[in-house]
Structure 1
Amino acid sequence: MTLRIGLMSFTAAAALALAGAAAAEECGTITLGAAISLTGKYATNGYHTQNGYEFAIRKIAEAGGVKVGDKCYNFKVIYYDDESKGDRGATLAERLINQDGVQYMLGPYSSGLTAAIAPVTEKYKIPMVEAEGASRSLFNKGYRYLFAVLSTSEQYLASAVDLAALMAEKSGKSPSDVKVAVAVENDPFSLDVRAGVIEDAEGYGMQIVVDEKLPRDLSDMTAILTKVKLVRPDLLVVSGHSKGAATAVRQIAEQGVSVPMIAMTHCEAADIVGNFGEAAEGILCSTQWAETLKYEDPIFGSAANYNEEFKAAFPEYADRAVPYQAAQASAAVLVYKDAFERAGTVDDREAVRDAIAATDMMTFYGPIKFDETGKNIAKPMVLRQIQNGQYNVVAPPEFASHELIWPRP
């Protein structure tokens, strides 16, 4: 079968392939399938995801591969471009299973694409370990073959609400005095982010003064920001994947919007520091993973080591934060390695599925343990603030490497 590299740079792809070549000659092959966004509005994150998969494949090969009995195996992935479209993703999942003979799937990028593909993998009883679909709506369908390594989306910006309440108290006010503005994309992930923020804010008695959906193309939120300037909230929350994050940071600066606390998703993936410089200062960014966290495993070592080696493998990340989308994609491949080895087979899908369901492991990305719905119940989210161009963890307190700067400069 042909390995389709898509948007991965030729140099990086060649380096990854050569690094595992010697091991590949000695080991068998486990073929995984992935429909992934290499074009369309999610292409940036699809690129990060693919790089994360490929980096893990190389590192596992370097460590001797997947050990099943007295045999070893290395992974390869057949990729197809879903063009950031759900119907295309579902069609490609059918193709991977029925034409390419794929027995095990890696997930696409985004909750929407995962929602489109999951019914297909479920129909054919094909395990899918996914790293980029966080919507809690994925885990109330009774799926048996869907497993997600990441924390669910309602948790993404919960810490921002807690921080806003804390800052209110420190300034002599009540959390119920806090005014919150929310602007999110109309997709399953962002709607869950919104639901989590609204639920937590209402728990403190906060006032929701703006509750808007971003335009479909995510390219202009001028009208929403005009309203934000009028009502002067204490906290502005934005969720619109990479494109939405870039639009928000750019237009907040252009319109001179001043809010004491701004929190959003997908900062690193959109490279808001590299693209917008000082305009990104003080923004709070939800993240599934950070290189400063004290996690480690035998394949990647520490989170810091993963960060360093990933940048060496993909020089385009040298001067920017490694997006958590890449890290969690690598973690998904680790789950497959662990499951195949515990199952003792690469051919019995049900045995492998049961081994995935029983996963309880520590990785450089954090702990991974699935509940009966397939979501990871072991790993917390963290919140980073951009301080002097660096992403520093400020919440929750037990993971914080730096103190919060408030109000935002």
Structure 2
Amino acid sequence: MLHYATLVGVVAASLVVAPAYAKSQDTILLGAAVSLTGKYTTNGEHTQRGYDLAVKKINEAGGVKVGDKSYKLQIRYYDDESTPARGAELAERLIQQDGVKFMLGPYSSGMTKAIAPVTEEHKVPMVEANGASRSLFTNGWKYIFATLSTSEQYLASAVALVAENAKDLGKEVREVKVALAFENDPFSQDVRAGVLEDMKKFGMEVVIDDQLPRELNDMTATLTKAKALKPDMLIVSGHSKGAATAIRQISELKVKVPVLALTHCDAADVIGQFGEAAEYTLCATQWAPTLAYSDDLFGSAAHFAKLFEETYGYAPPYQAAESAAAVQVYADAFERAGSLDPQAVRDALAATDMKTFYGPIKFDDTGKNIAKPMALYQVLNGEYKVVAPSDFAETKAVIPRPSM
């Protein structure tokens, strides 16, 4: 897949190892190892494009003022090839050879977990937007800060929504049967843990609990069991590939499931790829363009979505939005720190309390964003509509899924 650079002066490197990077004295250099090849290519591009768009907007607005001096932002990229060991190696290179003092995160929890020990060792702050695993925030790390909600929250609203609508399924809440299919990676396993915890509150029954391989190309075994056991709800988490595989094979195998809930629907473009087969799917999302969030840089969430689509030719998935917000967090911290000393910037990051088009951002002592809730889409008439939480809902969820 081709890689498009959108900002003059932003250097992209994939498999080619570039020489040490020279930057202007009037530039703040950020480093990022991002997946531009390998299994995370699609989401890696969403991540990079979010970063690039925020840098472009900040620079066009005059850059970042640190003390009495204004700086432009610039990003040094390497392709981590969707491989944790490669990501760690490139993080080391960015810090040790390219002189990067401020890191942006990669895509995925596994890649972030590989890079975080490197940034911690060198005391280099990392603002990351795509590592949601709660295990990232139980190590006592002091230099990692995440704009997104953590993984155990991803599908809590889907479980609660089914509980609220159990009578429409002809069941009492405790009679609801759930099938689980989760990729065996840190992110998806944390989503699973959160789902199990939420199901336990309602007394729901687990009838399938399948652990799926990381190259998630085939769910036939799980779906065959679902046909036999007839769960009321099927929950799948396996990044973009898992979402696409689930929609495709549920349609091909004609599996009738009253409620289907997934992660990574928009990143996998399930509407564009599968059309009617994606209808009525519930989709976890960190962000939606219809949410009532705004800031002075992008304006509203809807304005960000419009600018992103004009720039890249498609509607922004939440991975792009949370990545853009990560750059905004850095800009805010640089200005409040009044210094480019990494420790001063780290302390300013820890004190972050800001509103963005992506939502509120405030970090706890572990670096998690504790201010922003998750949301839940449903695919209705070929569009994503927010159906939970109720405070942000555009419309009522359709439960159960009509026979298709």
Superposition TM-score tier, normalisation by shorter sequence: over 0.9
Superposed CA offset, 1:201-232 (max 9, x none) = 11111000000012331111111110111111
1:386 is aligned to 2:353: no
Any idea what SS the aligned residue of 2:266 has?
helix
Structure 2 counterpart of 1:335, from 326, 329, 332: 329
The structure-2 alpha-carbon separation of the partners of 1:112 and 1:171, relative to structure 1 and needing over 3 Å to count, comes to: closer
Return the letter of the residue paired with 1:81.
Answer: D
CA contact (8 A) 1:27 1:74 kept: no
- When residues 73 and 195 of structure 1 are mapped into structure 2, their CA distance, relative to the original with a 3 A threshold, is same
CA distance in 2, matches of 1:64, 1:284: 41
C-alpha distance in 2 between matches for 1:107 and 1:26: 23
Map of 2:4 onto structure 1: 9
Is the 8 Å Cα contact of residues 168 and 400 (structure 2) preserved in structure 1?
Answer: no
Residue in structure 2 matched with residue 54 of structure 1 by the alignment: 52
Residue 322 of structure 1 deviates from its aligned partner by: 1.5
Question: Residues 27 and 391 of structure 1: is their aligned pair in 2 closer, same or farther, counting only changes over 3 Å?
Answer: farther
Q: Is the 8 A contact 1:37 1:109 kept in 2?
A: yes
- In the alignment, does 2:324 pair up with 1:326? no
Match of 2:16 in 1: none
**RMSD of aligned Cα (Å):** 1.7
The alpha carbon displacement at 1:170 in A equals 4.8
Q: CA separation of 1:400/1:15 partners in 2, compared to 1, >3 Å: closer, same or farther?
A: farther
Corresponding residue for 2:267?
269
Instruction: Indicate whether 1:399 and 2:392 are aligned.
Output: yes
Q: 2:30 aligns with which of 32, 46, 50?
A: 32
Work out whether residues 7 and 56 of structure 2, in 8 Å CA contact, stay in contact via their aligned partners in 1.
no
* TM alignment of 1:174-213, pairs within 5 A: 174-213=172-211
Larger helix share, 1 or 2: 1
Among all aligned residue pairs of Structure 1 and Structure 2, give the percentage whose two residues are the same amino acid.
Answer: 64
User: TM-score w.r.t. structure 1 length?
Assistant: 0.93
Gaps of 5+ in 2: 12-22
1:369 counterpart letter in structure 2: K
C-alpha distance in structure 2 between counterparts of 1:46 and 1:216, whole Å: 17
Q: How far is 1:48 from its partner?
A: 0.3
Match of 2:222 in 1: 224
Give the match for residue 279 of structure 2.
Answer: 281
1:111–1:132 contact (8 Å) kept in structure 2: yes
C-alpha displacement at 1:26, in angstroms? Answer: 11
Give, in whole Å, the separation in 2 of the partners of 1:343 and 1:164.
Answer: 46
Q: Is the 8 A contact 2:362 2:371 kept in 1?
A: yes
Contact kept? 2:148, 2:286, Cα under 8 Å: yes
CA deviation profile, 1:291-318 (whole Å, cap 9, x unmatched): 0000000000000000001111112x1x
1:156 correspondence with 2:154: yes
Written as runs of structure 1 = structure 2, the 5 A alignment for 1:214-253 is 214-253=212-251
SS across alignment from 2:203: coil
Q: After superposition, where does 1:16-27 map in structure 2 within 5 Å?
A: none
Partner of 1:73: 71
TM-score with structure 2 length normalisation? 0.94
Aligned pair count? 391
Distance 1:15 1:233, change over 3 A: farther
